[in-house]
Chain A
Amino acid sequence: MSLLTISGLALAVPSAGEWRTLVEEVDLTIGAGEAVGLVGESGSGKSMTARAVLGLTPPGARVSGSIVFDGAEVTSLGAKELRALRARRIGMIFQDPRAHINPVRSVGDFLTEAMVANLGLPAREAAARAVRLLAEVGIGDGARRLRQYPHELSGGLLQRVMIASVLALEPDLILADEPTTALDVTTQSEVMAILDELRRERGMAMLLITHDLELAAATCDRLAVMYAGRIVEAREAGSLTAAPLHPYTSGLLLSRPRLEETVHRLLVIPGRPVAAFEADPGCAFAPRCAHALAACGEARPVFDGTVACTRSAELTLQGES
């Protein structure tokens, strides 16, 4: 049985007297210990999907559909059960560690607070464990770091601290919301490698949210590509990048620069990404799609568990070369 099953998830927020849909008909499953990448552009609804799992939706948002975590329906949990779920079972790593760690409290406070409050460890034991965890995420002088404040640490170090704080609670599922986006390129791969290795060792499942398809493909078992609030393609990572079925996935794969060849102009997907509430009644990607037919603009293609494109069977799309 899968650890997390999201089915028919929709999320809308009130804006100027009407409902604006941000996420629609999202189906996603994550097995125990499995890593799934949720890939999409800004505004595609990937972060909202992850936040909905923890009940961390914007104020006044309307959420429908079902989110089942380990057999329990999350959307109908009471405040107390939801807190217990957040405290022990699901951990979240945020994009910007500097904003998500209280600036006036020390790193030691940040790391041990959850261990003391959620696991009931004595403070001394929690501190010892924090030092061990810091060593695991590659921070050697843990005892000194615990006394430091967030502003004394670099973004990369701080993100490792955040990873350590999540690992400390040994959750079953980690939601990683763009964990490396705020870091510079050289530390990105390092931090990602640490996160992935420690997660695998402990058998934790992960939902990785990113706009970096390549990064997601390298770390995750399966990938789901989102566009305009919907999943357009969800498959095993290797086959998705080698032979994409959706024109949007193919476009994403082709529009990234390569080291091996020199091109004067990168391929781009024409037009701009749309949010779910702006999309036309037909396929949301149709206006930007090179393969679109007149029929694509009429009815919205149904996501069959693999791809949401009416022409996927007849097209042969280019993947990663």
Chain B
Amino acid sequence: MSRLGGLGTAAAALLAVVAVTTLAAPLLAPYDPDFPDLLSALAGSSSSHPLGADALGRDVLSRLMYGARTTLLGPALVICVSSVVGTALAITAAWAGGRVDAVISRVLDVLFAVPGIVFALITVAVLGPGIPGVVAGLAVAYTPYVARVVRSAALRERSLPYVAAAWVQGRSAFAICVRHLLPNLRPIIVAQSVSALGFAVIDVAAISFLGLGVQPPAADWGLMVKSGFDSAMRGQPLEAISAGVLIALVVASVSVLGDRLGRTV
């Protein structure tokens, strides 16, 4: 862990706390996140509701604990899909070179030029609002993030002598890519994926905020910023602030972690 430095360790610890809290939400949350207690609607911070209650009287702390599930699961899926597809495309491009490389690289450039939210809007229009549509769109949008970096690393790696040595041993291109290139590229793939995860959290939350991602009454941080926004207009800003701060903290932690992992490569 010393490789991560002080800030990196703090970021990892914060993410670990969020992950544990989320998984153990049923044990830790003081209330049912969906139980409306209309008497305490728009309540401020108190001993019974540390972070207050929302417009329907649901406990904000409990909703934050449960909400991390949808908030983090979506981006995690986006990154899994885009990293796998991106790595496959990158290694194919770097290995084949020439025209294949040119086609793959240009397509990636075009994808890179279009904001992720635009893709998500298209897929949501096709698949309907909800996590599947958002994940499908963002997965396409995030593929170049990983692919472009991995391609350049793979180009360097494939020119190294051990690849030539495997080649003259009569190994197939596929075997060399999977068994030799991939393990050597793993640190770069991991660092780049983690960095992209931070952006994906923001994008998924933003889409939920727009009302196209996670649908109410489910608890979701992006959605809570949105509903908290209305509560703030009615004099109770605690819900929007706490959800917003959590998103910011998680994204910052993920970015720091990605940066530190990248440096130790």
> Does B164 lie within 8 Å of A84, measured CB to CB?
no
- Asked if A311 is an interface residue, CB under 8 A from chain B, the answer is no
CB neighbours (8 Å) of B172 from chain A are 83
> Does B171 lie within 8 Å of A100, measured CB to CB?
no
- Asked if A32 is an interface residue, CB under 8 A from chain B, the answer is no
Which residue in B161, B183, B184 is a CB contact (below 8 Å) of A96?
A: B161
Q: What 1/0 mask marks residues of chain A from 131 to 172 whose CB sits below 8 Å from any chain B CB?
A: 000000000000000000000000000000000010001000
**Chain A contacts to B: CB under 8 angstroms:** 54, 56, 83-88, 90-92, 94, 96, 99-105, 113-114, 117-118, 165, 169
> Does B171 lie within 8 Å of A114, measured CB to CB?
yes
CB neighbours (8 Å) of B168 from chain A are 54, 56, 86, 90, 92
> Does B164 lie within 8 Å of A56, measured CB to CB?
yes
Nearest CB on B from A69, distance (A) = 14
Which residue in B165, B167, B175, B183 is a CB contact (below 8 Å) of A117?
A: B175
CB neighbours (8 Å) of A114 from chain B are 169-171
- Asked if B166 is an interface residue, CB under 8 A from chain A, the answer is yes
Nearest CB on B from A116, distance (A) = 10
The secondary-structure label for the interface of chain B is helix
Q: What 1/0 mask marks residues of chain B from 62 to 88 whose CB sits below 8 Å from any chain A CB?
A: 000000000000000000000000000
Which residue in B164, B167, B171 is a CB contact (below 8 Å) of A113?
A: B171
Closest B residue to A101 using CB positions:
B162
The answer for the CA separation of A118 and B171 in the assembled complex, in Å, is: 8
Closest A residue to B98 using CB positions:
A59
> Does A103 lie within 8 Å of B184, measured CB to CB?
yes
Closest B residue to A86 using CB positions:
B170
> Does B171 lie within 8 Å of A56, measured CB to CB?
no
> Does A105 lie within 8 Å of B161, measured CB to CB?
no
A86-B166 contact in complex given A102-B184, A104-B183, A104-B184, C-beta closer than 8 Å: no
- Asked if B180 is an interface residue, CB under 8 A from chain A, the answer is yes
Nearest CB on B from A172, distance (A) = 14
CB neighbours (8 Å) of A56 from chain B are 164, 167-168
A94-B170 contact in complex given A103-B184, A105-B183, A113-B179, C-beta closer than 8 Å: no
> Does A100 lie within 8 Å of B170, measured CB to CB?
no
- Asked if B160 is an interface residue, CB under 8 A from chain A, the answer is yes
| Range class of the B interface residue count | 10 to 19
**Chain B contacts to A: CB under 8 angstroms:** 160-162, 164-172, 175, 179-180, 183-184
> Does B164 lie within 8 Å of A100, measured CB to CB?
yes
In addition to A99-B161, A104-B183, A118-B170, 13 A-B residue pairs with Cβ atoms within 8 Å of each other are A54-B168, A83-B170, A83-B172, A85-B170, A87-B170, A96-B161, A100-B162, A101-B162, A102-B166, A113-B169, A113-B171, A117-B175, A169-B169
CB neighbours (8 Å) of A88 from chain B are 170
Instruction: List 18 A-B residue pairs with CB atoms under 8 Å apart, sorted by A's residue number.
Output: A83-B170, A84-B170, A88-B170, A91-B169, A92-B165, A94-B165, A96-B161, A99-B162, A100-B164, A101-B165, A102-B184, A103-B162, A103-B184, A113-B169, A113-B171, A113-B179, A117-B171, A169-B169
The answer for the CA separation of A87 and B176 in the assembled complex, in Å, is: 14
CB neighbours (8 Å) of A86 from chain B are 167-170
Nearest CB on B from A52, distance (A) = 12
The answer for the CA separation of A207 and B183 in the assembled complex, in Å, is: 33
Nearest CB on B from A2, distance (A) = 22
Nearest CB on B from A131, distance (A) = 20
A118-B169 contact in complex given A104-B184, A105-B180, C-beta closer than 8 Å: yes
Nearest CB on A from B155, distance (A) = 13
CB neighbours (8 Å) of A99 from chain B are 160-162
> Does B161 lie within 8 Å of A94, measured CB to CB?
yes
Nearest CB on B from A205, distance (A) = 16
